[in-house]
Structure formats: C-alpha cells, structure tokens
C-alpha cells in the first residue's frame, strides 16, 4: 500500500529515482558495443537470435513496408494518429528558429546560422508494449527541423503486427513512421541497436544523433556512445507528481498516479496535498483501482516501492517540494491553476487543471512526451525541434575593426600566457 508522509518526515524518504546503471549492466553494454563495433552485422545477427529469438536475413525493412502497414492498421486508429500528429506539428512548429545577423557596427559583422542535423536515429521500444506515440513525438520535431534522413530502430517481434519476409515489426509502429515522415526502418533492438546507429555496420548507416526511450540497457548504451554521436537525454524511470487540494477528485488522482505506475516497476507517482482526508481517500482508491488493471503486478510494485503521498501544511509548501524534486510530469489539480504557474521553476511538462490528466500529453495534446526524468528538469528540457539542429556563430572583422580591437585582444591573450594568440593579432596590426 502506498505510504503517506508528513512534511517533517520527508527528508527521511528517498523519493528521487536514479538513472545510474548497475555495474553488471554497464559491463554487459560495453561488451555489446565493442562487439558491434568490430564485427558489425555478424554481431547484430547473433544478438538478435539471443535476445529476440529471430534469425534475420536483413535488418532494414523494404521501403514499401510503411505503406503496407498503414493499410493494415484499423483505419479509425490511423485517423487518431493523424490527429495527434497534427497537434504535435502545430505545437512544435512554433519552436522553429532562424539564424540572425546583428546590424553591422564599425566593420564588424556577427551572426548565427541554424543547420539541421543530417541523419537522426530514433529508438522505438518493443517488448511488453508497442509505442507508436514515441514515433510521432521523436520524429515529427526532426522532420520540422529539416533533418535529411530520419531512421527508426525497433525490436523485431513474432507476435502479430506487420511482418516482412523475415522480420516482424508491429504495424502500428510502421504506420506511425509513415505519418511522421520516417525514411528508413531497421528491425533491431536493445543496446546492439544503439551501437549500430552510433558506429554503423555493413547494413546500418551511422547517424549523427540518437533519440528515443528504452530499457536500462538501451539507456546505458546511449550514455556510453555519447560523444561519438549526440543523444537526446539519459532518461530514467517515468515519474509524475500531483499537487492537489481537498476539492480534487480522489478517483481521478488515483487513476493519474497509476497511469505512470503501469509503465514499469521503477516508475514513480507522488501526490502532494494539504488535506489528510484527501490523502487517505486516494490511498483507498489506488488499492481499488489496482485490482482492475491488466498490468496490476507491475503497477503494484511501483506503488509499494516508489509511490508516496506527502501531506503539507500549505499549497505553497507543495510547490517548494515540487521545485526541489523537479518532476518529469507535474499535474496541478487546483481550482485556479494559472495563479500558481509562476511558482513552477523545475518540471518537464505541466498539466493545469482538474480535467487535464498527464495522459493527454502522452499521446495527443501536442507538447512532447520525451521529458527529463529523475530530477534532471532542474537543468534540461523536453525534446524539441532544437534537438535536431546545430547553431553555428560567425564573425567578420574588417582591417579597420581588428585594428580598433587589437590592443584589447592582445592584452587578454598575454594575461592568459598565450603568446601565439597575441601574435595572431599583432602581426596583422603590423601589416604582415
């Protein structure tokens, strides 16, 4: 049963999840990456047999696979995905940035150009759940940014979905890929997929950046290849924090908390309220709703190990705790939520009002659902169009301008003991 904590007991409880991998996981992933680096497709074939039970003849699906898949998926669900894609596009289009040129000043021209990343790989999980929503959230911003080639890697499966001649990929994943503007699909999963995208193999092209969620092995692989390629973030277990007053509906709160807990046993749901009565009603409601969930075992372990209800004296105190913990998802179930928005400093995505559950953000509303976890919202942001572009500054000085600035630059270089730096200016001032 979920624990109820009073404010003065909070410091005794650890309610922040860690993204750190175990030593065994780190070692296993390092070996997988090294093997894929040196043996390429042969290593991928072996790992696919070992982990997925498949013997692929090729990893890339035919270009027609997405077209075939979108015809095989329930047309009504295709329409749902298309409407969600429109909302995601509408929101992310506002993030598109253009370069700028500062007005010329005394022979100095400064500016910044924005250039799309050329090739991006998005990892889309399979296994216990298929996530076409992750295809839309990862690939639509990349398309809007102008990425030349968008690739997805997703584990093969023999359980339903669209099958090509040797590999199985769920049709909903492929249909979402078609809607999102994906060019190529590879049926590869796990840390070996991340290694293939980062270093390239005989059949998998090397990408410039990798995005997308995954299990602890995928996350650790992204951590280890960072620097060879870019990544979106190191994502830990999913979490939600809810700030609610006594008038909030305990049935809704319990449902919202369990929507995160069913992700996995390490997921976390925390309610902060100024009402002990509400806290007790939510605890009872969670137990009632748990028994009806198909993923009850997963959700129950999450609730028992990582869930919490924190009872505070004031709602202002609730926001202090929230800002300290920096949740991935923050629901504000208050009668006047917009009056509190300036109090929020650290959160991945915020859901305002009693009729705005976080689930809207997972699938449909438009803002991205790839969010900073484990308190990293203190210094990082949701996935956006910005993640798929590079910003390059440029500088031009005329001869007259460098003469005007030269003495200052030389002084700076000399103070740092970098004589060659100073000479690169001094020689120009001497006209040599």
Q: Which residues are catalytic?
A: 328-329
- 228 phi and psi angles, rounded to 5 deg: -75, -40
Contact at 8 Å (CB) between 69 and 166? no
Q: How far is the C-alpha of 82 from the C-alpha of 140, rounded, in Å? A: 12
Tokens of 109: 């021209």
For tokens 């137990």, the residue is 287
Q: How far is the C-alpha of 298 from the C-alpha of 286, rounded, in Å? A: 14
Q: Given strand 100-101, what is the order of strands in its sheet?
A: 100-101, 108-116, 389-397
Contact at 8 Å (CB) between 180 and 149? no
Tokens of 65: 């696979």
Torsion of CA 60, 66, 69, 75, to 10 degrees: 160
Contact at 8 Å (CB) between 151 and 388? no
Contact at 8 Å (CB) between 307 and 272? no
Q: How far is the C-alpha of 281 from the C-alpha of 266, rounded, in Å? A: 24
The residues near 192 (Cβ < 8 Å, ≥ 6 apart) are 32, 36, 43, 44, 47, 48, 51
Q: What helix, strand, coil percent values describe the chain, rounded to 5?
A: 45, 15, 35
3-state secondary structure of 368: coil
Q: How far is the C-alpha of 350 from the C-alpha of 179, rounded, in Å? A: 27
Q: How far is the C-alpha of 419 from the C-alpha of 154, rounded, in Å? A: 53
The residues near 210 (Cβ < 8 Å, ≥ 6 apart) are 120, 121, 122, 123, 194, 197, 198, 222, 225, 229, 230, 231, 232
Q: How far is the C-alpha of 417 from the C-alpha of 75, rounded, in Å? A: 69
Alpha-helical (H) ranges within 181-213 are 190-199
CA-to-CA dists, residue 335 to 245, 247, 271, 328, 343, angstroms:
8, 8, 16, 22, 16
Alpha carbon 41 to chain centroid, angstroms: 28
């Amino acid at each position: 049963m979920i624990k109820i904590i009073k404010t003065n007991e909070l410091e005794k409880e650890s309610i922040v999840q860690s993204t750190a991998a175990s030593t065994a996981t780190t070692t296993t992933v390092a070996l997988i990456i090294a093997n894929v680096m040196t043996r390429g497709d042969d290593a991928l074939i072996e790992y696919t047999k070992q982990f997925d039970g498949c013997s692929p003849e090729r990893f890339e699906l035919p270009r027609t696979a997405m077209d075939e898949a979108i015809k095989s998926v329930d047309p009504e669900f295709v329409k749902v995905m298309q409407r969600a894609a429109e909302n995601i596009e509408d929101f992310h289009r506002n993030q598109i940035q253009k370069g700028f040129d500062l007005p010329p000043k005394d022979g100095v021209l400064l500016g910044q150009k924005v250039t799309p990343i050329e090739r991006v790989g998005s990892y889309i999980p399979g296994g216990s759940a298929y996530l076409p929503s992750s295809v839309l959230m990862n690939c639509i911003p990349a398309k809007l940014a102008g990425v030349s080639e968008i690739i997805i890697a997703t584990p093969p499966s023999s359980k339903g979905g669209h099958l090509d001649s040797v590999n199985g990929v769920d049709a909903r994943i492929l249909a979402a890929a078609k809607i999102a503007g994906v060019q190529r699909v590879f049926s590869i999963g796990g840390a070996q997929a991340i290694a293939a995208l980062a270093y390239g193999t005989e059949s998998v092209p090397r990408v410039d950046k990798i995005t997308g969620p995954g299990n602890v092995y995928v996350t650790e692989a992204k951590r280890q290849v960072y620097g060879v390629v870019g990544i979106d973030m190191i994502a830990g277990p999913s979490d939600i924090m809810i700030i609610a007053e006594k008038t909030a509906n305990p049935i809704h709160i319990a449902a919202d908390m369990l929507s995160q807990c069913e992700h996995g046993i390490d997921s976390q749901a925390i309610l902060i309220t100024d009402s002990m009565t509400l806290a007790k009603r939510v605890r009872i409601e969670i137990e009632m709703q748990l028994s009806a969930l198909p993923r009850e075992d997963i959700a129950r372990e999450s609730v028992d190990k990582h869930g919490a209800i924190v009872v505070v004296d004031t709602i202002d105190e609730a926001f202090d705790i929230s800002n300290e913990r920096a949740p991935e998802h923050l629901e504000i179930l208050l009668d006047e939520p917009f009056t509190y928005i300036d109090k929020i400093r650290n959160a991945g995505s915020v859901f305002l009002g009693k009729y705005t559950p976080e689930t809207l953000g997972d699938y449909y509303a438009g803002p991205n659902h790839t969010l900073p976890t484990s308190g990293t919202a203190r210094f990082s942001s949701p996935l956006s169009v910005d993640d798929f572009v590079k910003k390059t500054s440029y500088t031009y000085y005329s001869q007259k301008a460098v003469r005007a600035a030269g003495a200052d630059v030389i002084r700076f270089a000399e103070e740092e003991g970098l004589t060659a730096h100073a000479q690169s200016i001094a020689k120009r001032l001497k006209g040599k």
